[in-house]
């Protein structure tokens, strides 16, 4: 199994670099053929963040990420938690925040404490207030 860095995943999803895209595609195929690809949460969160810089609707970004994590041979830490986090992302949430919440929920480390008012609207997140 191999791990893809964020920049390789972005080349795969966007295909915007004529030199790097075919290299990324071949690396992806080779990794799948030799045992699979591991995508850590941090890579998924970074990819979601980088994709904001492209002229893509949120629904398109969601579809790209969802299709990627459901690709045969691609492994994430907890597919159910990742799919739940992606669904929250699709509805307007921040993917990194939702992955944090999913991991905290799985190990019983709630509430997540945050200064982020928007994130604190999520069940399981508590807003910290400055004086």
> What confidence tens digit (pLDDT) does each residue in 40-80 have?
999 999 999 999 999 999 999 999 999 999 999 999 999 99
How far is CA 96 from its chain centroid? 7
The rounded radius of gyration (Å) of the Cα atoms in the chain is 16
Secondary structure class of 114 (helix, strand, coil) = strand
Position 131 scores a pLDDT of 67
Q: What is the pLDDT of residues 63-74, one digit of tens each?
A: 999 999 999 999
Cβ neighbourhood burial of 116 (10 Å; 0-12, 13-18, 19+): middle
Confidence of residue 30 (pLDDT cuts 50, 70, 90): very high
* Residues near 107 by beta carbon (within 8 Å), at least 6 away in sequence: none
Percent of the chain exceeding pLDDT 90 equals 98
Percent of the chain exceeding pLDDT 70 equals 99
Instruction: Give yes or no for residue 8 having a pLDDT over 70.
Output: yes
Q: What is the pLDDT of residues 101-112, one digit of tens each?
A: 999 999 999 999
Position 130 scores a pLDDT of 82
Domains of the chain: 2-127 (3.40.50)
* Residues near 111 by beta carbon (within 8 Å), at least 6 away in sequence: 124, 125, 126
What are all long-range contacts of 113-119, with beta carbons under 8 Å and residues at least 24 apart? Answer: 118/94, 119/93, 119/94
Position 64 scores a pLDDT of 98
Strands annotated E in 6-124: 37-38, 74-75, 112-114
């Amino acid at each position: 199994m191999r791990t893809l860095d964020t920049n390789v995943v972005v080349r795969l999803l966007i295909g915007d670099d004529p030199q790097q895209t075919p290299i990324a595609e071949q690396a992806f195929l080779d990794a799948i053929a030799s045992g699979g690809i591991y995508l850590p949460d941090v890579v998924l969160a970074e990819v979601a963040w980088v994709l904001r810089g492209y002229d893509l609707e949120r629904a398109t970004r969601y579809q790209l990420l969802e299709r990627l994590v459901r690709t045969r041979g691609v492994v994430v830490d907890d597919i159910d938690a990742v799919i739940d986090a992606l669904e929250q992302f699709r509805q307007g949430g921040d993917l990194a925040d939702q992955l944090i919440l999913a991991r905290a929920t799985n190990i019983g480390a709630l509430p997540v404490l945050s200064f982020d008012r928007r994130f604190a609207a999520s069940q399981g997140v508590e807003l910290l207030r400055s004086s």
